[in-house]
């Protein structure tokens, strides 16, 4: 059992060290309530995106909160993808209260930038003395190593913000901004984001 815990910890540290996401700023209120919230809802706001992206972002953050012992739910799972559409504040708060939700964490995509740039070709100088003794060995080695042609590459940056609210007092308890650089997939992006946020919230004692 102890070995499994150590292995899980090592894997988690490795994944965090390889993460394409990082926190650029976070803040915690001085008035964090002593109570443990009964039910935290994760609500995503990602304009113009497929609802499945919102679903993944919510699901991973919910999973990471649950792993820490909190009761957390996804707004999409609870109400569907159009959960607060055409509703007023009082209606939304009543809806949340009737579901037993007393705190909300938002996930907002602030911006998404794509940068296209040219990577110039490079000449490689590497030891090849061993191949100089015969023509073909020398020729084929040089042919493969001497020149790598240039190419265009597109990198994508995502800028995120999450806020944590106490619904009873309508107070902002915690806020964080992050950036994600060229994630391999939406699944990996959502996984990294959830871990990053929950770890920072615990580090700053934003959650009891």
Rounded to whole angstroms, how far apart are CA atoms 166 and 131?
70
Helix (H) or strand (E) holding 178: strand 171-181
**What are the tokens at 195?**
């871990």
Longest Cα–Cα distance of the chain, Å, equals 83
Threshold 0.75, pTM exceeds: no
Q: Share the mean pLDDT of the chain.
A: 81
- In the predicted structure, residue 194 carries a pLDDT above the cut 80: yes
- For 5-18, the DSSP string reads HHHHHHHHHHHHHT
Q: Quick one: DSSP state of residue 20? A: S
Which residues, in sequence order, are bridge partners of residue 113?
157
Q: For residue 54, count CB atoms less than 10 angstroms from its CB and return exposed for 0-12, middle for 13-18, buried for 19 or more.
A: buried
What's the whole-number mean pLDDT along residues 9-33?
70
- Rounded CA-CA distance 71/22 in Å is 26
* 96-134 pLDDT, tens digit each: 999 999 999 999 988 887 766 666 665 555 554 555 556
User: Can you tell me the distance from the alpha carbon of 147 to that of 157, in angstroms, rounded to the nearest whole number?
Assistant: 30
pLDDT per residue over 23-48, tens digit each?
999 999 999 998 889 999 999 988 76
CA distance 129 to 146: 14
């Amino acid at each position: 059992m102890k070995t499994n815990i150590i292995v899980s910890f090592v894997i988690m540290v490795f994944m965090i060290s390889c993460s394409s996401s990082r926190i650029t700023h976070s803040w915690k209120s001085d008035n964090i309530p002593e109570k443990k919230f009964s039910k935290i809802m994760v609500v995503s706001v990602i304009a113009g995106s497929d609802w499945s992206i919102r679903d993944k972002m919510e699901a991973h953050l919910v999973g990471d909160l649950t792993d820490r012992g909190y009761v957390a739910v996804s707004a999409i799972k609870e109400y569907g993808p159009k959960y607060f559409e055409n509703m007023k504040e009082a209606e939304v708060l009543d809806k949340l209260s009737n579901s037993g939700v007393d705190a909300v964490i938002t996930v907002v995509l602030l911006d998404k930038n794509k940068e296209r740039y040219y990577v110039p070709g490079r000449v490689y100088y590497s030891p090849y003395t061993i191949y100089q003794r015969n023509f073909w060995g020398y020729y084929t080695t040089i042919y493969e190593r001497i020149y790598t042609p240039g190419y265009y590459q597109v990198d994508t940056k995502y800028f995120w913000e999450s806020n944590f609210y106490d619904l009873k007092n309508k107070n902002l308890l915690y806020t964080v901004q992050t950036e994600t650089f060229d994630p391999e997939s939406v699944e990996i992006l959502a996984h990294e984001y959830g871990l990053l946020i929950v770890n920072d919230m615990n580090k700053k004692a934003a959650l009891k």
